[in-house]
Amino acid sequence: MVRALLRSMPDSFANALSALPPDPPIDPALGRRQHAAYRAALEACGAQVQVLPADESCPDCVFIEDAAVVFEGVALIARSGAVSRRPEALAVAQALEKTFELVRMTEPATLDGGDCMRVGRTIYVGRSARTNAEGIAQLGRAFPRLRVVPVDLPPDVLHLKCVCSPLSEDRIALCEGTIPASTFSASALSIPREELYASNLVAIGQHAVVAEGYPRTHEALARAGFTLHPVPVSEVRKADGSLTCQSILL
Ligand code: CIR
């Protein structure tokens, strides 16, 4: 069974990082209800969910994906490219150390888990404002059995998985007009450009947690055989977050 590690949303989520000032402001109470819907959707996909407590001193801690990369018994504890987010990793490391061998990323490396997309035995990693060359090198050393493929991101893209996400061990969802499909050895299900945000989704077997309100993407995924679990995302979206970033699949 897939396990999913989540982290609750603090009241300070109102002050989460965002490229543009949120308008209207972030509503953490609504955000928590949406987070509960996300949790329920993961459970409906068959995942066993564990939720770490929020930390008021870490406004972005709900975006737990960025704090660690996990594969085959090893957890790489990331060093975020956003300085204010570095303290988030402590509690995530403590939660993972019971069942994983921890590898801690060290200065000057930076990496956000949102830049890492594993598909089978390949991990694609975005070269972004958050993830630097040393971060990519340390990722490769932590996971010697994975092929590491660095990917240049289009301008203004925060993380690799803002434009693509894994659907299975050999297939991804990829927004058209962003990264060339030829970059990936996996086959790509094309997400229409006007539904860019929907290219970030959590697939578990033949189930997928998707952002609500993207009919063309939903139709394409349903045609590909997925059972869909649409969830509301307005508040995480105001903080430049989406779906994969709210969990680490173990
Ligand atoms: C940040 O700017 O770091 C957060 N406000 C959003 C992070 C979203 N993470 C992700 O997509 N993996």
How confident is the model over 57-67, as a mean pLDDT?
Answer: 98
How confident is the model over 69-79, as a mean pLDDT?
Answer: 98
Q: What is the pLDDT of residue 122?
A: 98
Does the beta carbon of 17 lie inside 6 Å of ligand 1? yes
- Residue among 7, 38, 60 to mutate when testing ligand 1 (max atoms within 8 A of CB): 60
> Does the pLDDT of residue 155 top 90, yes or no?
no
* Single-letter residue type at 236: V
Q: What is the pLDDT of residue 26?
A: 98
Q: Please tell me the pTM assigned to this model.
A: 0.97
The pLDDT tens digits of the residues spanning 188-219 come to: 999 999 999 999 999 999 999 999 999 999 99
Compute the distance between CA of residue 213 and CA of residue 31 in angstroms, rounded to an integer. Answer: 17
Mean pLDDT, the chain, rounded, equals 98
E-assigned strand segments in the chain: 3-7, 48-52, 68-71, 74-77, 101-104, 116-119, 122-127, 147-152, 164-166, 171-175, 187-191, 202-204, 207-211, 227-231, 248-249
Q: Which 3 state secondary structure label does DSSP give 150?
A: strand
Q: What is the pLDDT of residue 60?
A: 98
Q: Around Cβ 173, how many Cβ atoms within 10 Å? A: 26
> Does the pLDDT of residue 59 top 90, yes or no?
yes
Backbone angles phi, psi at 13, to 5 degrees: -55, -25
Q: What is the pLDDT of residue 66?
A: 98
- Residue among 20, 128, 158, 200 to mutate when testing ligand 1 (max atoms within 8 A of CB): 158
Q: Which 3 state secondary structure label does DSSP give 178?
A: coil
How confident is the model over 9-17, as a mean pLDDT?
Answer: 98
Residues 6+ apart with CB under 8 A from 194: 216
For residue 154, CA distances in Å to 2, 128, 151 come to: 32, 9, 10
> Does the pLDDT of residue 44 top 90, yes or no?
yes
User: Count of residues for the chain?
Assistant: 250
Does the beta carbon of 115 lie inside 6 Å of ligand 1? no
171 pLDDT band, cuts 50/70/90, is: very high
